[in-house]
């Protein structure tokens, strides 16, 4: 029994001491790491994680808050990348009645050291937002979420909170489904006008530092019967016009970098 216990302790010690060595050193390594769920990597062609995170300027020693990480698509990249020198923080509701976090919870169960290092803060638009101390984060990121804070939630208050938690010079990175500027805004479509996101951010005190077409998709007309959810991966219309929407791919997206 004593020998077995000693072996277990030795394994634990060696395993823990090697955790940092196994963590990715670059964003490219993080995106191609075996830590990622294989199905998630299939969406890289639409989400361009390395290019997107490089555009925002993510560094391994940063404190980064991801707002509404949901199933954890970006968690699988950011948590390992920030593990050694930085801090990954998930901003999410206190409860998850829809089970959006279930895949992320299952992923963390395989890598408990990553879960232990990560932190959680509260983000429930329109109800409760507590992202941490003012001027404490280097970066706030949110991917395809701002449409969820409409029409009843206070999106302007959310951006004010992002501004408060960021250090001077800190970055807010936003990726969102982009509505055609010629079309009237439809809050149920899942698309938002780029000018509106910029307006809200600037009102909160941010400066638009740069825009990128990394996640643009000119094939997306943005006019679909089920809004953005007509497209992959949702394909809410079922088999009807499925091939058509698969040929389009995922939505046309704005990629905006703001600075405090």
Q: Is the pLDDT of residue 17 over 80?
A: no
Helices within the chain (DSSP H only): 2-22, 27-31, 38-41, 44-47, 49-56, 75-81, 102-110, 112-117, 155-165, 194-203, 242-248
Higher pLDDT, 194 or 18: 194
Provide the 3-class DSSP secondary structure of residue 15. Answer: helix
Q: Which residue has the tokens 């010690």?
A: 13
Q: What tens digit of pLDDT does each residue of 65-74 get?
A: 999 999 999 9
Percent of the chain with pLDDT over 70: 92
With cut-offs at 50, 70 and 90, classify the pLDDT of residue 238: very high
Q: What is the DSSP string of 187-246?
A: TTSS-B-HHHHHHHHHHTT-EEEEEE-TT--TT--S--TTGGGGSTTT-TTTTTTHHHHH
Lowest-pLDDT range of 16-30, 162-176, 215-229, 237-251: 16-30
Q: Which CATH number fits domain 26-259: 3.40.50.300, 3.40.50.150, 3.30.70.260, 3.90.850.10?
A: 3.40.50.150
What does the mean pLDDT of the chain come to? Answer: 92
Q: Is 146 a residue whose pLDDT tops 60?
A: yes
Please determine, for residue 19, whether its predicted confidence score (pLDDT) is greater than 70: no
pTM of the model: 0.91
What number of other Cβ atoms are within 10 A of residue 17's Cβ?
9
Residue 16 pLDDT more than 80?
no
C-beta of residue 248 within 8 angstroms of C-beta of residue 229: no
Residue 108 or 20, more confident: 108
Q: How confident is the model at residue 9 (pLDDT cuts 50, 70, 90)?
A: very low
The length of the chain, given as a count of residues: 260
Q: Residue 150, SS3?
A: coil
């Amino acid at each position: 029994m004593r020998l077995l216990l000693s072996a277990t302790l030795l394994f634990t010690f060696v395993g823990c001491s090697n955790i940092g060595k196994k963590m990715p050193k670059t964003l490219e390594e993080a995106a191609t790491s075996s830590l990622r769920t294989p199905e998630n990597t299939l969406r890289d062609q639409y989400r361009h994680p390395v290019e997107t995170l490089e555009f925002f300027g993510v560094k391994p020693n940063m404190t980064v808050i991801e707002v509404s990480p949901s199933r954890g698509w970006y968690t699988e990249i950011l948590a390992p990348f920030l593990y050694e020198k930085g801090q990954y923080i998930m901003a999410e509701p206190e409860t998850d009645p829809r089970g959006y976090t279930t895949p992320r919870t299952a992923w963390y169960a395989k890598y408990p050291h990553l879960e232990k290092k990560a932190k959680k803060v509260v983000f429930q638009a329109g109800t409760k937002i507590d992202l941490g101390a003012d001027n404490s984060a280097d970066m706030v990121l949110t991917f395809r979420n701002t449409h969820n804070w409409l029409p009843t939630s206070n999106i302007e208050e959310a951006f004010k909170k992002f501004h408060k938690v960021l250090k001077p010079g800190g970055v807010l990175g936003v990726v969102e489904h982009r509505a055609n500027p010629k079309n009237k805004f439809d809050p149920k479509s899942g698309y938002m006008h780029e000018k509106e996101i910029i307006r809200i951010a600037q009102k909160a005190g941010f400066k638009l530092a740069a825009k990128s077409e990394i996640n643009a998709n000119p094939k997306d007309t943005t006019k679909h019967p089920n809004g953005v959810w007509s497209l992959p991966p949702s394909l809410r219309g079922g088999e009807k016009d499925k091939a058509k929407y698969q040929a389009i791919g995922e939505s046309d997206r704005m990629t905006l970098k703001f600075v405090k």
